[in-house]
Amino acid sequence: MARLIAVSNRVPKPGERYTSGGLSVALRNALERRGGLWLGWSGQIQDETVSEPRVTTQRAHNVDYVTVDLTKRDEEEYYNGFANRALWPLFHHRPGLTEFARRDMAGYYRVNQTFARILAPLVQPDDVIWVHDYHLIPLASELRSLGLKNRMGFFLHIPWPAQELFSILPNHARLAINLINYDLVGFQTKPHMDNFITYLKDEMDTKVEGGELEAFGRRTQLGVFPISIDTQEFIQFARAPRSAIARRLEHSLEGKILALSVDRLDYSKGIPQRIEAIGRFLELYPEYKSRFTALQVAPTTREAIPEYAEINREVAEAAGRINGRFGDIDWAPIRYVNKSIGRSALAHLYRAAKIGVVTPLRDGMNLVAKEYIAAQDPENPGVLVLSRFAGAAKELRGALLVNPYDIDGVAHALRSACEMPLDERLSRFLPMYAHLKKFNVHRWTDDFLSALMREPQLALTA
């Protein structure tokens, strides 16, 4: 079996097995099965004056974890700059938040080059290379220019934007060509893939047929691979005796209906709009005052980026406003905490919530929606209120699908969720539960890797 090489912006520590999210667990699993190597940024910053990046290798369970330190300048330009202030907002359809700087773009290419230079000598001829996400789009081009002929796949975890938006990037053609240097490019949903195909046809006059494109003397396969969760793990966590945090939560609820949201604190997640909708719900249906509690768990991320400090302030203000307006001396409608919660406690919180509120303005997939479903009691499940703009909406058809910009619409959906009888909750929940048992994250890694290892000609006739 060919060895697997995974590359992602960050690499978890070999021992972080039960604290990290589904993706790293699944990737680690695939790497351990085949033997492999995982390369990415260590998260450490090194002195600018050191001429070569510090590389650390740790081996555990058949896998080499190779981590690279970056300089402050690399972090500013590659990570905070081009990846998170240009690509992230634009790919989430927020051109107003997009800050493009040529210096950042140069830093982005420089770090990709550094990763390629470090990786190339470690690669054996029949290794298969799987690159993750928008930070590393140019990696295959850099590796190929160093002479590597290996099969290389890329998976985009975030949406691919509409053509009009992508072409706002001054270097859009270069990035698209970077993607063509992979053998397989995977997207979360068909609309994301179709956006890319439209761009290729209109801007680059490229032929795309049967999910395969031919350009610049190369053949690249495109595909849809909706990412999933370790469903069994979540089912087991949720079934286990409740953790202390879940007991504290249930005790504090005193029988009130819990509507739970769990997100990284990010402007793409639609948190201020969601809080606004909770206010509207209480305004339209005052009978729920003192009977309903919304809990928003949102650890801060990417704090060095100004837009992220701003969203933190905005969410705290919105929650304060709604609590001030609707709350009472013994009840506040919204609890807002900037905390990260362990996986098994998280499963218990999901299970305690009669309503899961997942309303991003745009999201590649959104794993919280899937985790919420997996953690429910199959005999008495809760209701998922889900944004139609999350990739997960393409699969979780039993959710109450909402438009997160439509504050009244979300308020009505919250009411329907509160009132929904058991038979309707079951008929919505059971197909989603069965779907997630079958399409879990292990199936996702297997599907992507078997597509990557298939020869292109075979893919044409498949």
Q: Is 21 among the residues that bind ligand ADQ (CB under 6 A)?
A: yes
Q: How far is the CB of 55 from ligand ADQ (least distance, A)?
A: 26
Q: How far is the CB of 360 from ligand ADQ (least distance, A)?
A: 8
Facing residues of 130 across strands? 6, 153
Structure tokens at 361: 């303005």
Q: How far is the CB of 82 from ligand ADQ (least distance, A)?
A: 17
Distance, CA of 93 to CA of 332 (rounded, Å): 34
Binding mask 214-233 for ligand ADQ (x = CB under 6 A): -------------x------
Distance, CA of 138 to CA of 177 (rounded, Å): 9
Would you tell me how many other CB atoms lie within 10 Å of the CB of residue 210? 11
Q: Which of 158, 355, 357, 411 binds ligand ADQ (CB under 6 A)?
A: 158
Nearer to ligand ADQ among residue 299 and residue 431 (C-beta):
299
Q: Is 364 among the residues that bind ligand ADQ (CB under 6 A)?
A: yes
Query: Which residue in the list 92, 132, 135, 157 is annotated as catalytic?
Result: 157
Q: Is 22 among the residues that bind ligand ADQ (CB under 6 A)?
A: yes
Is 194 among the catalytic positions? no
Distance, CA of 371 to CA of 394 (rounded, Å): 16
Q: Is 395 among the residues that bind ligand ADQ (CB under 6 A)?
A: no
Nearer to ligand ADQ among residue 291 and residue 388 (C-beta):
388
Q: How many helices (H) and strands (E) does the chain have?
A: 18, 16
Structure tokens at 339: 């905390």
Per CB under 6 A, contacts with ligand ADQ among 25-84 are none
Query: Which residue in the list 74, 363, 412, 435 is annotated as catalytic?
Result: 363
Q: Return the DSSP state at 3.
A: P
Distance, CA of 456 to CA of 462 (rounded, Å): 10
Exposure pattern of 147-158 as b/e (b: 16+ CB <10 Å)? ebebbbbbbbbb
Q: Is 13 among the residues that bind ligand ADQ (CB under 6 A)?
A: no
According to DSSP, the β-strands at 4-10 and 383-387 are unpaired
Distance, CA of 397 to CA of 378 (rounded, Å): 17
Nearer to ligand ADQ among residue 326 and residue 444 (C-beta):
444
**293 contacts 258 by C-beta, under 8 angstroms:** yes
Nearer to ligand ADQ among residue 21 and residue 456 (C-beta):
21
Q: Which of 120, 175, 257, 341 binds ligand ADQ (CB under 6 A)?
A: 341
Nearer to ligand ADQ among residue 340 and residue 403 (C-beta):
340
Q: Is 365 among the residues that bind ligand ADQ (CB under 6 A)?
A: yes
Choose among 114, 65, 50, 107: nearest CA to 82: 107
Choose among 105, 65, 70, 69: nearest CA to 85: 105
**400 contacts 385 by C-beta, under 8 angstroms:** yes
Is 64 among the catalytic positions? no
Q: Is 368 among the residues that bind ligand ADQ (CB under 6 A)?
A: yes
Nearer to ligand ADQ among residue 22 and residue 107 (C-beta):
22
Q: Which of 9, 98, 340, 403 binds ligand ADQ (CB under 6 A)?
A: 340
Nearer to ligand ADQ among residue 299 and residue 378 (C-beta):
299
Q: Is 361 among the residues that bind ligand ADQ (CB under 6 A)?
A: no
**CA distance from start to end of the chain:** 22
Structure tokens at 163: 């053509």
Q: Which of 297, 399, 414, 420 binds ligand ADQ (CB under 6 A)?
A: 297
Choose among 389, 285, 420, 343: nearest CA to 20: 343
Q: Which of 299, 306, 378, 431 binds ligand ADQ (CB under 6 A)?
A: 299
Applying CB under 6 A, the residues found at the interface with ligand ADQ are 21-23, 157-158, 227, 262-264, 297, 299, 339-341, 346, 363-368, 371
**Any idea which residues carry the catalytic annotation?**
157, 363
